[in-house]
Amino acid sequence: MFNRIAFYIFLLILSVSCKDQEQKKHVPPVIDREKIDAAFGKHISAIMLNHLYIVLDSLSYSSLTKDTGWGKTYGALDKGLPSFAPIDNNTPMCYLRGHKHYIEILGPDNIFNEPVGKSGVGFTLENNDEHFHLGVKPKLKVENTRFLNATKTVDMELSNQKETWFKAFYTPSPGTALHTWYAFYNPIFLDSLYQKHHPFYSREAFLEPNYANQKLFNSIKSIAMTCTTDDYIRITQELYHLGCKLLEKDGHMLSIDGGDIIIKITASNEVEYSQITQIRCHLNRSDDSVTNLGNVTIINKGKESIWNFDNLHKNNF
């Protein structure tokens, strides 16, 4: 398996290296190649993180939702759309709201019947000078492949009227435990939700009414994941198709620029399922506390917060 991965990485880096050498040889450095590509219709959709979700075991979820001291200081927790009501003892899933990202935290009895340890990462997409419409499509570095070739439109009823929230693109991957999707969001949804006009959709506008800047949590900085071979190839190829740059390669770990975050993805033949192992977050102010929430540990160091899920996955078997 690792020979396959190593060969795949070698081809990817060799392809990028050869293209760079060829461009440097034939294109004068004063020419802005990105502007030329955009002028000739080679614009690639901009990508940014929207949110991630993860399913916790009963001990971890109960510890997180019932630790009122942590909830009061770390971040705003709610039940989600459409009311964003405060959580209670019977809430099967909750949302931690930041300035531009949020974390969807599911308990083992969640309404989607998702198993403990399963996770997903959702990104937003934007095309230059293109407003949301149902026919919108991502502009990719490579077209007509098996990646990002499926789509789903998500609607929600607001004020007795169904509104389209977003149109997502993804790669079909039956049986995966780590979903990824990339979506265009509809500003009219925000109009209906908050009863005021939004000329465009922004993550900040969606989160602003429920984001508490006096609390610690601000946004997500990086996501580390360990994946099976198939998921490793799928996710890295999706990001490559969207023009994301390879920042670092260390063995079977790739560090990839995911727009406004860093994705650190490692291939392994020792995991039963693909999993988010750690997230690093930006904090609004310095803090040096350590919080144990069952099988989840949150370590704050200055203005960085590190969520570790190793024990969640280790104790899931």
pLDDT (tens digit per residue) in 155-200: 999 988 999 999 999 999 999 999 999 999 999 999 999 999 999 9
What SS3 class is residue 108?
coil
The percentage of the chain sitting over the pLDDT mark of 70, rounded to a whole number, equals: 86
Q: Can you say how many angstroms the Cα of residue 261 is from the centroid of all Cα atoms in its chain?
A: 9
The span from the CA of 247 to the CA of 244, in Å, is 9
The span from the CA of 93 to the CA of 105, in Å, is 6
Cβ-in-10-Å burial (0-12, 13-18, 19+) of 88 comes to exposed
> How many CB atoms lie under 10 A from the CB of residue 85?
10
Question: Which residues make Cβ contacts (< 8 Å) with residue 247, sequence separation at least 6?
Answer: 255, 256, 257, 262
pLDDT, tens digit (0-9, with 9 covering 90-100), for 255-298: 999 999 999 999 999 999 999 999 999 999 999 999 999 999 99
Backbone φ and ψ for 270, nearest 5 degrees, come out as -105, -5
> Is 234 contained in some domain?
yes
Nearest residue to 274 via CA among 211, 218, 316: 316
Q: Token pair of 200, please?
A: 């465009």
Q: How confident is the model at residue 93 (pLDDT cuts 50, 70, 90)?
A: very high
User: Domain range spanning residue 75?
Assistant: 43-314
> Is 17 contained in some domain?
no
The span from the CA of 188 to the CA of 198, in Å, is 7
> Is 223 contained in some domain?
yes
> Is 27 contained in some domain?
no
The span from the CA of 259 to the CA of 99, in Å, is 16
Query: Model pTM?
Result: 0.87
- Tally of domains within the chain: 1
> Is 10 contained in some domain?
no
The percentage of the chain sitting over the pLDDT mark of 90, rounded to a whole number, equals: 82
